[in-house]
Structure 1
Amino acid sequence: FSYIVLLLAVWYNKTLKGINIIALGIIFNFIVIVTNGGHMPVLLSSLYKSGLNNFALVLKEGTYVTHVLITEKTLFGFLADVIPLSPPFPDPSVVSAGDFLMFYGVFSLIQNAMVKEELNPEA
């Protein structure tokens, strides 16, 4: 449900620079979650590389609500949480290509909002 709300927000702000990149990231994450039963698959080795050993144990138990481990049955695994962000990254985690697109889109959106457009000297 939250992804539908995000897509609606993107649609209503579609004229803003950077919003299309955010939309693509949302769509990538939405695809992998919907095709995997409403769960975001996570690569086990990436959890270990990020130092998230306790989270790996929880996912191995299969009791976590929003995430599951990647298996041979996982669809669109390349869009799942497979990219480890390990120390010295301030908040070690595992992210997806969609997450990176959303991060970049938000950065671009903020940057464009902060920078004034150049005035046309011929006008």
Structure 2
Amino acid sequence: MILIFFILSIITALLRNGKIKRLSYLKFRSIWLFILAMVIQLSIVVFGATGSYYILKYIKELYIGSYVLLFIGLIINIKYKPIIIIMLGGLMNVFCFMANDGKMPISIEGLKLAGFDNLIRLIQNGKIALYTPLNGATNYGQFAQLITVQKPFPLPQILSIGDIIIYIGIFVLVQVVMLNSDMDRLISRKPRY
């Protein structure tokens, strides 16, 4: 879904006379932090679903660790102001996760609407330790994964408010960079060797 928001943001900026080459002027520091955070989150989902002992045993620590890496990377690159929006969305997700004993509540009805019947069974049987069904006992359920994007959308999803805010932050970041003509002047002033 992040990729879709990124592409939509590029298209929107192009329609607003933005320049795609300005994205190459983005200079993120310590990009490896973002890559490692994404690898950890992907590993949690992939290996957690297969029942990996170590992933399931340390899932809470791995999830928090991935967000710590992500937040460090975002703080290092805070000069890009829309990153504050991305951080806010991430904090909402972490808050909901921590408030529910290290599990992200997810709407079973939303999963049904999105067509994820196999995932429902895995979550209800405790096979995916990252998630717990959203119910009346859920703390701060408004931050849970409960926003359903269903077919005919090609990639059905179930999102949290935090996810949506992260995507908005990415959208705004791309708009700011692609529409910023000052970036062209800054780059053109740099000496070329």
The normalised TM-score by structure 1 is 0.89
Residues 39-118 of structure 1: pairs in structure 2 closer than 5 A = 39-117=103-181
Inter-partner Cα distance in structure 2 for 1:64 and 1:37: 14
- Indicate the residue corresponding to 2:42 in structure 1: none
- Indicate the residue corresponding to 2:78 in structure 1: 14
- Indicate the residue corresponding to 1:23 in structure 2: 87
Percent identity between the two aligned chains:
30
Inter-partner Cα distance in structure 2 for 1:12 and 1:70: 34
Count, aligned residues: 119
Inter-partner Cα distance in structure 2 for 1:99 and 1:31: 13
Deviations 1:82-112 (A, max 9, x none): 0011011121111000000001111111221
Deviations 1:19-57 (A, max 9, x none): 111011000001001111211110111111111111111
- Conserved? CA contact 1:14–1:20, under 8 Å: yes
- Conserved? CA contact 1:27–1:98, under 8 Å: yes
Q: Which is further off, 2-11 or 95-104?
A: 2-11
- Conserved? CA contact 1:52–1:93, under 8 Å: no
- Conserved? CA contact 1:19–1:109, under 8 Å: yes
Larger radius of gyration: 2
Code of the aligned partner of 2:113: K
- Conserved? CA contact 2:123–2:129, under 8 Å: no
Deviations 1:54-81 (A, max 9, x none): 1111111122121111122211111000
Alignment RMSD? 1.6
Code of the aligned partner of 1:108: V
Moved runs in structure 1, 4+ residues, more than 6 A?
none
The normalised TM-score by structure 2 is 0.58
Per residue, is there more helix in 1 or in 2? 2
